């Protein structure tokens, strides 16, 4: 029998409901998995084991008192840019070293209200700026399928922890693919909700018009359960949409008969690894065999997405990160002679190279004489991309694409070439620009036993569609049960 830490959220929920195990047992087994494995992976930045066990005991006591719920007593990891009261929130940056959050993000508060056990803080690229978790200000995280490779980013810590059984599920954030790409690299399920579906209150801002909190999980049902817990209107977030939250998990089980799935030629281009393409096309064929109708759709402005994204995102980042100046919280440089000198020294020492690069780029595109040429033009391209998706969804219910052009690449392979790193987001950033939802679900392994993800895109607030398509596909595939060996080389 699989150990408790290897089971899915819904499997553990069933065991807890039957009285076959206790939350404290689950948390102890997950903590043991962290002790055994995280020295190889470095998924966690911090962990308060006693606090987690105290939450587990409280959940067990509530169950004895008659309380029920799918998340009650389930240990959930949280990316370290989502605030959890009383816990560090470094955002993977030395500029926030020593900072402890005084409040819960709305998503964290909603998990807490459901009785979930909030585990430690999971690693990420600094301020969520990166695609490999190598930009963390503290340490890189490693892929549990092959520890010589990256887990993806920026939610590399959550994805690696979920895949390795170091938490049952996790919350991540997605600004340009930061949930979906690491989910694909680590062989788990990752969902980027539509913009406005999940409150951003308490998510440390990178690019405010693009950021979304979402789940990483071992299977689609777990992702649906987590989304149902955190979604919904929040008066603390002005971009949160006041729309009913469907019962996502309860609605799973529909087949693909009559479902129209779009296939955009713009996502099958030069630079797409042949093994990745073959696995994604095999997944599309499997969906067709399950009854779906495959239709060709066009997304002609996809080729401009990366350029538009890195103008809009960096412009917003340059404004959002101006608050880290050494005055109110976090790191402050010593021996400064004037306030201006203190600001400059603090930011120079506190921020890493990639964050500085994006702040400089964003400040430039917003500067006098360049605003119209870059930022406004990028926003017009964003509108064109959104219109492309609107027209495509008139012909289909959802769109199938690769998540990333390659499987997980070697640590250090792209760190000296930022443009090559940015291009690895080519298939994920359009969904953020358009504000639609997207799901990454495992669709097989390369010859080197590295996971590959299938991306399912649907219109804004059609999360039920991507979850149903993903669930139907997942149930027809054996690799949903695969778990990594966690070694230097991929398991045979």
pLDDT in tens, 364-383: 999 988 999 999 999 999 99
379 in a structural domain:
no
Q: What angle do CA 460, 465, 468 make, to 5 degrees?
A: 150
Q: Could you read off the pLDDT of 1-12 as tens digits, one per residue?
A: 679 999 999 999
- 488 within domain boundaries: no
How far apart, in whole angstroms, are the C-alpha atoms of residue 377 and residue 265?
25
Burial level of 106, CB count in 10 A (0-12/13-18/19+)?
Answer: buried
Domains held by the chain: number = 1
What is the DSSP pairing of strand 260-264 with strand 75-79? unpaired
pLDDT in tens, 429-470: 999 999 999 999 999 999 999 999 999 999 999 999 999 999
Q: Which sign does the torsion angle of CA 104, 105, 106, 107 carry?
A: negative
CA angle 218, 89, 410 (to 5 degrees): 55
3-state DSSP call for residue 185? helix
- Please state, rounded to an integer, the average pLDDT across all residues of the chain: 96
Which one is catalytic: 5, 136, 154, 194? 154
Q: Among this protein's residues, is 178 annotated catalytic? A: yes
Please report which residue ranges of 179-273 form alpha helices under DSSP H. Answer: 180-186, 220-230
Residue 154: active-site member: yes
Cis peptide before 154 (omega within 30 of 0): yes
Q: Which of 101, 178, 194, 240 is catalytic?
A: 178
Catalytic residue among 5, 23, 79, 136: 79
Q: What is the DSSP letter of 278?
A: H
Would the pLDDT of 224 be above 50?
Answer: yes
Residue 451: inside a domain:
yes
Cβ atoms of residues 179 and 216 within 8 Å: yes
Q: 431 lies in a domain?
A: yes
For 334-356, b where at least 16 C-beta lie within 10 A, e where not — what string? eeeeeeeebbebbbeebbbebbb
Nearest to 462 by CA among 438, 441, 430, 489: 438
Average pLDDT for 107-126: 98
Range list of H helices, 76-139? 106-113
Q: Give the model's pLDDT for residue 1.
A: 60
**Mean per-residue pLDDT for 87-101?**
96
Contacts of 93 (CB under 8 A, 6+ apart): 126, 127, 137, 324, 350, 351, 352, 355
- The CB density around residue 479, as the number of other CB atoms within 10 Å, is 13
The residue range of the domain holding 116 is: 4-265+391-481
In a domain, 472, yes or no: yes
Residue 217: pLDDT over 70:
yes
110 in a structural domain: yes
Residues 251-273 have a mean pLDDT of 95
- 309: in domain: no
Say whether 199 is catalytic.
Answer: no
Q: Is residue 321, in this structure, part of any structural domain at all?
A: no
Report helix, strand or coil for 296: strand
Q: What angle do CA 237, 241, 246 make, to 5 degrees?
A: 125
**CA distance linking residue 338 with residue 368, whole number of Å:** 27
Look at residue 420 and tell me whether its pLDDT is greater than 90. Answer: no
Of 210, 230, 39, the C-alpha closest to 128 is 210
What CATH number is attached to the domain comprising 417?
3.90.1300.10
What pLDDT is attached to residue 286?
97
C-alpha distances out from residue 173 to 207, 400, 424, 447, 483, Å: 11, 22, 17, 30, 23
What is the DSSP secondary structure assignment for residue 303, as one 8-state letter? G
* pTM of the shown model: 0.96
């Amino acid at each position: 029998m699989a150990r408790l830490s290897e089971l899915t959220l819904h499997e553990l929920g069933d065991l807890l409901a039957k009285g076959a195990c206790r939350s404290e047992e689950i948390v102890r087994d997950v903590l043991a998995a962290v002790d055994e494995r995280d020295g190889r992976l470095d998924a966690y930045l911090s962990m308060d084991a006693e606090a987690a066990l105290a939450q587990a005991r409280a959940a067990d006591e509530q169950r004895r008192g008659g309380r029920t719920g799918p998340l009650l007593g389930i240990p959930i990891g949280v990316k370290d840019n989502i605030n959890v009261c009383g816990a560090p929130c470094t955002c993977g940056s030395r500029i926030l070293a020593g900072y402890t959050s005084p409040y819960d993000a709305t998503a964290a508060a909603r998990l807490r209200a459901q009785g979930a056990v909030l585990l430690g803080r999971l690693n990420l690229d600094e301020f969520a700026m990166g695609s490999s978790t190598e930009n963390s200000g503290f340490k890189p995280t490693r892929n549990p399928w092959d520890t010589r490779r990256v887990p993806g980013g920026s939610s590399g810590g959550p994805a690696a922890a979920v895949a390795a059984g170091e938490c049952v599920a996790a919350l991540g954030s997605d600004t340009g693919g930061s949930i979906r790409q690491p989910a694909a690299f680590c062989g788990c399920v990752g969902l980027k909700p539509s913009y406005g579906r999940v409150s951003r209150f308490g998510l440390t801002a990178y690019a405010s018009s693009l950021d979304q909190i979402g789940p990483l999980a071992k299977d689609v049902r777990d992702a649906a359960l987590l989304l149902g817990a955190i979604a919904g209107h929040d008066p603390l977030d002005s971009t949160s949409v006041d729309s009913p939250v469907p019962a996502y998990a309860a609605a799973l089980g529909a087949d693909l008969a009559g479902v129209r799935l779009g296939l955009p030629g713009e996502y099958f281009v030069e630079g797409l690894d042949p093994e990745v393409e073959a696995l994604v096309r095999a997944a599309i064929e499997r969906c067709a065999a399950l009854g779906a109708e495959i239709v060709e759709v066009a997304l002609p402005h996809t080729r401009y997405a990366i350029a538009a994204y890195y103008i809009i995102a960096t412009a917003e980042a340059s404004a959002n990160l101006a608050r880290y100046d050494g005055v109110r919280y976090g790191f402050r440089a010593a021996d400064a002679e004037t306030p201006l000198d203190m600001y400059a020294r603090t930011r120079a020492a506190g921020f890493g190279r990639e964050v500085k690069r994006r702040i400089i780029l964003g400040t430039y595109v917003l500067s006098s004489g360049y605003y119209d040429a870059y930022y406004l033009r990028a926003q017009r391209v964003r509108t064109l991309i959104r219109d492309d998706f609107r027209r495509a969804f008139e012909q289909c219910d959802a769109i199938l694409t690769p998540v990333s052009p390659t499987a997980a690449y070697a640590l250090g392979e792209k760190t000296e070439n930022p443009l090559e790193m940015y291009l690895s987001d080519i298939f994920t950033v359009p969904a953020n620009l358009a504000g639609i939802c997207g799901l990454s679900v495992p669709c097989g392994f390369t010859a080197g036993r590295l996971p590959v993800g299938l991306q399912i895109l649907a219109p804004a607030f059609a999360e039920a569609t991507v979850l149903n398509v993903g669930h139907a596909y997942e149930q027809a595939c054996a690799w949903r049960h695969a778990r990594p060996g966690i070694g230097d080389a991929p398991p045979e």
